[in-house]
Amino acid sequence: MPATIGHFASHDTIARRGERPTSCCLLLQGYLCWMVESESGQQITSIHVPGDMPDLQNLPAPQLQYDLVALGPVVVAFVPHAFFRELNASSPRLSRALSLLALADVSCLRNWIFNLGTRDALARVAHLLCELTVRLRVVGLAKDFTFASPFTQSDLAAACAISAVHANRTIQELRRRSLVQWHSKTIAVADWAGLVQLARFRPDYLGLRDPSMLDGPQTGQFAAQLSA
């Protein structure tokens, strides 16, 4: 796969609204988000983890509609559009797989709308953490329910549509309830079952095939004991 590697710092813009890029972006390390901005404010509409290709669907687009922004330091591989066009033409199987990826993204977006629309700030943040945890576990980056979090509290606020001050209050409350620890750019989910319950997290929408990522650490140990 032909690719060019790129490094970016936190809050760098990898691709900007109005641009007409000639390659897609495969996220290797760190987090990316789609950011929508105007006078009314700024809003993160999705967060991407290593392994994702956030702008794959934009391949046929005349131009980008929104900004692709780094959350924390990031390493990406740029893959020329031509590569995917040929892939699409040559293999119906892969073409279908890419459609399924796109569909999963849409499902996430609708769920994100649901999250903003129906939950209060505490459950909203909890839900975002649940989603991040599961998606990171799928790619092996949160094996013990602990993962890197270069996000600022303002980033969290922009994702959950709350003010930065209230984001702080909310995190404090999650800490107070012993649900998560969040220190020195690391998040540790201390009580997975509790977090899931608070967020009413139902991971169907992620379209996972292997549901073992949803088990808590206790369950895992229990299973280990069973098989021993």
Partner DNA sequence: CGCCGTCCTTAACAAAGGTTAAGGACGCAA
Partner DNA sequence: TTGCGTCCTTAACCTTTGTTAAGGACGGCG
Contacting residues toward a copy of itself, per CB under 8 A: 34, 36, 38-43, 45-46, 57-62, 65-66, 89, 92, 96, 99-100, 102-103, 105-107, 109-114, 116-119, 123, 161, 200, 202, 204-205, 207
Closer residue to DNA (CB): 22 or 184:
184
61: contact with DNA by CB under 7 A: no
Q: Nearest distance from residue 61's CB to a copy of itself, in Å?
A: 5
163: contact with DNA by CB under 7 A: yes
159: contact with DNA by CB under 7 A: no
Helix (H) or strand (E) holding 219: helix 217-227
Residue 213's DSSP bridge partners are none
Q: Nearest distance from residue 88's CB to a copy of itself, in Å?
A: 9
* CB half-sphere exposure, 120, CA atoms < 13 A: 5
Please, are residues 31 and 48 in contact by the beta-carbon 8 Å criterion? yes
Spatial CA neighbour of 176 closest among 154, 156, 191? 191
State the binding string over 102-121 for DNA (x if CB under 7 A, else -).
Answer: ------------------xx
187: contact with DNA by CB under 7 A: no
Q: What is the DSSP string of 146-214?
A: EEE----HHHHHHHHTS-HHHHHHHHHHHHHTTSEEEETTEEEES-HHHHHHHHT--GGGG--S-GGGG
43: contact with DNA by CB under 7 A: no
Q: Indicate which of DNA, a copy of itself, none lies near residue 154 (CB less than 5 to 8 Å, by partner kind).
A: DNA
Which residue in the block uniquely carries the two structure tokens 């790129």? 6
